[in-house]
Amino acid sequence: MKLGAIKSMKNGVTDEEYILLKKKLGDKIDGKEFIALIQVYSKAEMRKKKREKKEQEYYKREFEKEYILKRNDKAANFTVDMINGEKIQLSDLKGKVVLLNFWATWCAPCIREFYEMPSKILDVYKNQDFVFIPIAIGEGNALVSKKMLYLKEKGIDFNAGFDPAKKVWKKYAKGAIPKNFIIDKKGIIRFTSTGNSEINVTILAAQIQKLLNE
């Protein structure tokens, strides 16, 4: 059997499964508690799995090229204007865990990610040493404010920054968005991600919790 060919494994079988196996295999099998059912991938499934792994490795390499600052790098200081008139400076947030999110109003994956942020992150950590800084890149106050007002009507209500000249963005990355940087209490980048998937926000939440516990 090839490495990685096992799809699932179950120790023990039900009475019904044991009867069927006994009919098929006869005395070749003993008590049901000693039986393990192993399901393996078909050749077609193995080929698909191998292809998907290569694609994942390719995209990981390509996305890595897009990071100017990477994990374990010191986060670059910046000041960003927020749509509520506030200015946030990263260096003022020492002692807090920061989720720095780069997005744009036209970016569908970015907006899908926002729909999960309140329930999985913002509501959970609102009373802890945590700050969320979503920065719209290449867009100004009016456009970002309009988008956030629309999202507020959908129940997604949080402050957002704007970076029309991409000054903050260019310190951190290039290429695809959304991009997330989780910065620890000492100002070190501890986690990064590009794009949005079904589990991306869940992973971000776990990383935030880990750093809050340190």
Q: How many CB atoms lie within 10 A of CB 207?
A: 19
Distances in whole angstroms, Cα of residue 39 to Cα of each of 6, 10, 19, 36, 50: 6, 9, 19, 10, 18
Q: Residue holding tokens 């969320």? A: 132
Burial of 138: CB neighbours in 10 Å, binned 0-12, 13-18, 19+: middle
pLDDT score at 26? 74
Cα dihedral sign for 76, 78, 83, 85? positive
Note the pTM of the prediction, 2 decimals: 0.73
Q: How far is CA 56 from the centre of its chain?
A: 15
pLDDT score at 50? 74
Residue 123, C-beta contacts closer than 8 angstroms, at least 6 positions apart:
none
Domains in the chain, CATH or no CATH each: 6-64 (no CATH), 79-212 (3.40.30.10)
How far apart CA 181 and CA 183 sit, in angstroms, is 6
Along the chain (214 residues), what's the average pLDDT of each consecutive run of 10 residues? 66 74 73 70 79 62 82 97 98 97 97 96 96 98 97 95 98 95 97 89 95 95
The answer to whether 94 and 187 are in contact (CB under 8 A) is yes
pLDDT score at 55? 54
